[in-house]
Structure 1
Amino acid sequence: MQNIALTESQLLSIRSHGERAYPEECCGLLLGRVTAGVKTLVEVWPTDNAWSAEAEDNWPEQTGLTEKRRYAIKPEDMLRAMKHGRDRNLDIIGIYHSHPDCAAVPSECDRTMAWAQYSYIIVSVRQGSSEDLRSWSLDGEGNFQAEEILAVEPTQIKK
């Protein structure tokens, strides 16, 4: 099982973003480092949900779905986060998003769009309030496996 370490403040940031975006999905990037097999989150990087007809063109099997059921991150937001991270010796270690009125379990769409090296934090937001929050990563066969979330103190994270 993989591990991801983050602070209560970072968890709150992800949960709050999900609540603000409700009833649509929120999304954002996770900037940090991987050391000794543990991903350590340093910065939560919120982004706009860019799911649109244009995004749908890239995923024809997703026709008719909206920001309430899908998310997309603009390439320019990815590039901006990569540059910001590079300037601070950080990498994108994952992506987070919300599931409005659904469980914090990856969908088939989440699986097909996922990258093996990333963590995927999903927060369930029901009726506007965040509930369950879980982290996932792909195994060698392309299936999601749960990651253990390690709560750490801010002083344990090197900026």
Structure 2
Amino acid sequence: MKKQIQVSEEVLAEMHRHALAVFPNECVGFFYGQSSEGAKNVTEYSPLENSKEGDQRRRFEVNPLDYMKAERYALSNQVELLGVFHSHPLHPAIPSEHDLKQAVPFFSYIIVSVNENQVENTASWQLNEENQFEEELLNSN
């Protein structure tokens, strides 16, 4: 059975706006909410600066300081840091080999496929026990 991730319409719209605003570069951000057995509920999104040196059209990087701030934010606001959102400009919303190398267990990875005018697809992924990405069932309300 697929794991489920619920994202509010407002948060999803915020993510999509961010991806379109930085096109043709990849955007990146953290999302927060609550998790229970096999399900996550995303209630907040925090866009980040892509700190990747060089070509940001193909890669994103999270500054370690931003990660520390995100962990602190989650603790002080009684939410969980649930994962990373990023865009794939002109590419499908499926994880790349680079995404797999950077991934950590538990986090969800919401990826949006975007072109200059619109979001084409949004999908969420999580590492399984074999250290491979498995798609999560993404719902919005």
Give ranges in structure 1 of 5+ residues lacking alignment.
Answer: 54-65, 153-159
2:6 maps to amino acid: A
**What pairs with 1:63-78 in structure 2 (closer than 5 Å)?**
66-78=55-67
Q: Distance in 2 between matches of 1:128 and 1:49?
A: 21
CA RMSD of aligned residues (A): 1.1
Which has the larger Rg?
Answer: 1
Partner of 2:37: 36
SS at match of 2:18: helix
1:44 maps to amino acid: Y
**What pairs with 1:2-41 in structure 2 (closer than 5 Å)?**
2-41=3-42
Q: Distance in 1 between matches of 2:91 and 2:37?
A: 33
Give ranges in structure 2 of 5+ residues lacking alignment.
Answer: none
Is the Cα–Cα contact under 8 Å of residues 86 and 112 in structure 2 kept in the other structure?
Answer: yes
Can you list the C-alpha shifts for 1:84-139, whole angstroms capped at 9, x where unaligned? 11111112111000000001010000011101110000001113421100001111
- State whether structure 2 residue 120 is matched by structure 1 residue 131: yes
Is the Cα–Cα contact under 8 Å of residues 93 and 112 in structure 2 kept in the other structure?
Answer: yes
TM-score, structure 1 length as denominator?
0.84
- State whether structure 2 residue 90 is matched by structure 1 residue 106: no
Question: Could you list the runs of 4 or more consecutive aligned residues of structure 1 that deviate by over 2 angstroms after TM superposition?
Answer: none
Can you list the C-alpha shifts for 1:34-63, whole angstroms capped at 9, x where unaligned? 11321111210110100116xxxxxxxxxx
- State whether structure 2 residue 112 is matched by structure 1 residue 120: no
Structure 2 residue aligned with 1:86, among 64, 68, 75? 75
Partner of 1:50: 51
Q: Distance in 2 between matches of 1:127 and 1:43?
A: 25
Q: Distance in 2 between matches of 1:131 and 1:16?
A: 13
TM-score, structure 2 length as denominator?
0.95
Q: Distance in 2 between matches of 1:124 and 1:46?
A: 17
Q: Distance in 1 between matches of 2:113 and 2:24?
A: 11
Q: Distance in 2 between matches of 1:46 and 1:127?
A: 19
**What pairs with 1:138-153 in structure 2 (closer than 5 Å)?**
138-152=127-141
